[in-house]
């Protein structure tokens, strides 16, 4: 659990605001509750964790989760992930780590605290620690240096305890490294049979009674969508902006103040030939790909058609177009590729360029120089921008005034009777998935529109196009249509489901037949007139999986052995059923490089250290007196 939260704490977002979050957390942090008489949210032995600390930790965990989903946590996800219990576990484990560290005699010196603070970039100015900046940030978060530094001492104590526990595992043997390498790089081959439901469709017979019974059980799948018929008052930026006159002086001022917006960057068009090699590929692969690149480079320099060479030899997605990447600006490509292209002359061919994608040969085809768009050509764009800028506050003022008048009139109908110039736009019935074009299709508009009760009036709603006030004139709730109205769809779905059932049954029967004494996979397949397919050698984790055997089933294939060669149940991918039999297992063909050996060693050490830490925490937790306040049950 601690590891789960720790990993998520490494996001760029969290690092960017780490001091503000940390300071607020620390303000309510360890030791705070010892100075008051309120009940604690969690008690770990004699250490109390306050409700404020729990709430702050919960808010941080929720913010981290929201950041991963663009700022909004999908409905129900927080509950499904049980964030509350994760936070309780995190705070409990942090307390156990501090207590364990103190019992071990681990200490955090004042110098260590000072070094930690001085290394934080948030407290630095031009790369150096700034005491005034430090005090200002603390003061803005209502913290004294003494309180912050004391709380930082607790944090560092926990970190040092983790390091000391992990120190018990400092060795990864050559045997363990080789074994891990072999497990990752070995290949497995399987023979397999595919049961495709499409092959069963023609065999499915449908009777009226059977179809009616099936529809009765599955009718909800065919319910119509909810439909609404709306009226709305629009206060749209475009409509309001069109009535705003823009003076020439305003246009000139805007152009001068936003000159960078009218700069046109230089663009370059290039072709490339790529020989793929990932950063973690063995040295042998890199040497092989580099040699191939150098060989093709010689041909390109000697005058061979670059586009044809790319079509024949490139391993990138642009091979089909002769390696043509089209036009792009500086910074759009990875750094090494970008640096090469923007240092070349038109028609020039580069040396071999290495990136994380592999080895490239680049030809610069064309250069489009940059410049500044003249004010005459930018005039319409500037006018639109100025009109939009002035229309936004005006739109809100108009919407707010209309809303107040509607309330004063007592109803929307009365308001419309009094305001001859008010324009109510009315829609026909529509569903959420198929709204009319324009502002009605805006997510904010739809969200509120489908929440309204019949004849209910919304508040002022802000959309990307402006403001609206909506009323639901009529609502049609979802209904299950009569079978006769959707019979074609129902028959198709019925056939598809029954065909899948038949395919699954045949797959299960084949597995059962192979389990019978004296029977074999190949014989059982032959008796049924089926075709055996071969996967060829497959890696357990291969980003460039080339076999027709589904990647989703590869990990299951690696569990098969000669003593248990056939899968115990069919694998399902894209509605097809797969039955597969172990063929052979091969050790890696390429010897492990020194760099790979170091990487596997590091992975093993991290794994062992994490296991020791987890075991230590489980033991401490089992022996500790941990009490959780009953109010957290309903948090």
- DSSP H/E element including 110: helix 110-119
Please state the rounded mean pLDDT for residues 8-21.
38
What is the reported pLDDT for 467? Answer: 97
Provide Rg for the chain, Cα atoms: 34
Q: How far apart are CA 570 and CA 507, in angstroms?
A: 6
C-alpha distance from residue 182 to each of 127, 179, 539, 635 (Å): 45, 5, 11, 48
At 448 the pLDDT is: 95
What would the DSSP string read from start to end of 458-524? ---EE-SSEEEEEEEEEEE---PPPGGGSHHHHHHHHHHHHHHHHHHHHHHHHHHHHHSTT--HHHH
pLDDT exceeds cutoff 90 at 253: yes
Give residue 323's pLDDT band: very low, low, confident or very high (50, 70, 90).
very high
Express each pLDDT in 278-320 by its tens digit: 998 888 899 999 999 999 999 999 999 999 999 999 999 999 9
Average pLDDT over residues 75-100: 87
Return the pLDDT at 635. 66
C-beta pairs of 288-297 under 8 Å, 24+ apart in sequence: 289/358, 289/359, 290/352, 290/354, 290/359, 292/359, 293/352, 293/359, 293/360, 293/361, 294/352, 296/361, 297/349, 297/351, 297/352, 297/361
Task: State pLDDT tens for residues 441-460.
Answer: 999 999 999 999 999 999 99
- Band (pLDDT 50/70/90 cuts) for residue 233 is very high
Confidence of residue 11 (pLDDT cuts 50, 70, 90): very low
pLDDT of residue 550 exceeding 80, the answer is yes
The model carries a pTM of 0.55
Instruction: Give the residue from 64, 71, 59 showing the smallest Cα distance to 28.
Output: 59
- String of b and e for 564-576 (b: at least 16 CB within 10 Å)? ebbbeebbbeeeb
For residue 518, the model assigns a pLDDT of 63
The residue that leads in pLDDT, 617 or 80, is 617
Between residues 354 and 53, the one the model is more confident about? 354
Confidence of residue 33 (pLDDT cuts 50, 70, 90): very low
Locus of tokens 């081959």: 189
Which residue is it, tokens 């014989």? 523
The alpha carbon dihedral of 415, 418, 424, 430 has a sign of: positive
The arithmetic mean of pLDDT across residues 137-143, rounded, is 84
Residue 260 has what pLDDT?
Answer: 87
Question: What is residue 77's predicted lDDT score, i.e. its pLDDT?
Answer: 78
The pLDDT assigned to 59 comes to 87
Min mean pLDDT across 203-207, 295-299, 589-593 is at: 589-593
Q: Phi, psi (5° rounding) for residue 68?
A: -70, -15
pLDDT value, residue 197: 97
The top-scoring range by mean pLDDT among 22-26, 58-62, 188-192 is: 188-192
From the centroid of its chain, how far is CA 621? Answer: 33
Return the percentage of the chain with pLDDT > 70, whole number. 93
Domains of the chain with CATH codes? 2-169+624-634 (1.10.4030.10), 187-219+487-586 (no CATH), 227-245+385-476 (3.10.50.40), 266-369 (3.10.50.40)
Q: What is the rounded average pLDDT for all residues in the chain?
A: 89
Q: Of the ranges 29-33, 264-268, 439-443, 574-578, which one carries the lowest mean pLDDT score?
A: 29-33
Cross-strand partners of 581: 191, 566
């Amino acid at each position: 659990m601690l590891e789960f939260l720790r990993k998520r704490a490494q996001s760029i977002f969290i690092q960017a605001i780490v001091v503000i979050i940390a300071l607020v957390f620390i303000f309510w942090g360890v030791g705070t509750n010892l100075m008051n008489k309120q009940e604690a949210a969690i008690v770990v032995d004699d250490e109390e964790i306050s409700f404020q600390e729990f709430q702050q930790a919960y808010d941080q965990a929720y913010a981290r989760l929201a950041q991963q989903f663009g700022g909004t946590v999908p409905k129900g996800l927080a509950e499904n992930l049980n964030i509350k219990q994760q936070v309780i576990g995190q705070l409990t484990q942090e307390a156990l780590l501090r207590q364990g560290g103190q019992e071990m005699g681990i200490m955090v010196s004042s110098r260590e605290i000072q070094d930690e603070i001085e290394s934080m970039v948030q407290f630095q100015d031009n790369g150096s620690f700034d005491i005034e900046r430090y005090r200002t940030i603390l003061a803005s978060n209502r913290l004294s240096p003494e309180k912050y530094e004391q709380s930082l001492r607790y944090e560092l104590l926990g970190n040092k305890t983790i390091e000391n526990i992990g120190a018990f595992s400092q060795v990864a043997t050559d045997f363990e490294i080789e074994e891990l390498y072999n497990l990752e790089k070995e290949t497995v081959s399987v023979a397999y049979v595919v049961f495709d439901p499409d092959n069963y469709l023609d065999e499915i017979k449908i009777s009226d009674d059977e179809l009616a019974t099936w529809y009765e059980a599955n009718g909800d799948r065919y319910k119509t969508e909810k439909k609404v018929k709306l009226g709305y008052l629009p206060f749209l930026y475009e409509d309001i902006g069109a009535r705003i006159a823009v003076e020439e002086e305003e246009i000139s001022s805007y152009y001068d103040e936003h000159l960078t917006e009218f700069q046109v960057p230089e663009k370059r068009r290039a072709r490339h030939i790529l020989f793929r090699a990932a950063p973690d590929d063995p040295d042998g692969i890199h040497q092989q790909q580099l040699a191939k690149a150098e060989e093709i480079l010689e041909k390109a320099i000697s005058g061979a058609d670059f586009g044809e060479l790319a079509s024949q030899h490139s391993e990138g997605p642009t091979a089909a177009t002769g390696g043509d990447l089209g036009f792009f600006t500086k910074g759009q490509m990875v750094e090494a590729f970008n640096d090469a292209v923007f240092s070349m002359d038109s028609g020039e061919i580069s040396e071999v360029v290495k990136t994380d994608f592999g080895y490239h040969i680049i030809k610069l085809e064309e250069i489009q120089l940059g410049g500044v768009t003249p004010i005459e050509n930018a005039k319409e764009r500037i006018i639109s921008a100025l009109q939009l800028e002035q229309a936004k506050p005006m739109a809100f003022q108009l919407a707010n005034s209309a809303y107040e008048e509607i309330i004063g009139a007592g109803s929307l109908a009365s308001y419309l009777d009094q305001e001859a110039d008010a324009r109510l736009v009315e829609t026909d019935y529509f569903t959420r998935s198929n709204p009319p074009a324009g502002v009605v299709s805006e997510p904010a508009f739809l969200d509120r529109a489908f929440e309204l009760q019949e004849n209910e009036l919304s508040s002022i709603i802000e959309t990307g196009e402006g403001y609206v006030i909506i009323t639901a004139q009529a609502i049609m709730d979802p209904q299950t249509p009569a079978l006769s109205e959707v019979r074609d769809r129902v028959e198709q779905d019925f056939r598809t489901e029954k065909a899948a059932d038949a395919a699954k049954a045949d797959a299960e029967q084949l597995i059962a037949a192979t389990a019978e004494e004296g029977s074999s996979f190949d014989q059982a397949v032959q008796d049924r007139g089926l075709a055996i397919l071969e996967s060829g050698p497959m890696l357990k984790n291969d980003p460039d999986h080339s076999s027709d055997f589904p990647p989703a089933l590869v990990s299951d294939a690696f569990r098969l052995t000669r003593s248990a060669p056939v899968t115990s149940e069919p694998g399902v991918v894209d509605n097809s059923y797969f039955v597969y039999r172990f063929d052979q297992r091969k050790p890696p063909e390429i010897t492990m490089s020194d760099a790979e050996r170091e990487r596997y060693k590091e992975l093993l050490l991290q794994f062992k250290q994490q296991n020791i830490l987890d075991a230590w925490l489980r033991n401490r937790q089992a022996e500790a007196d941990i009490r959780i306040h009953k109010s957290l049950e309903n948090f």
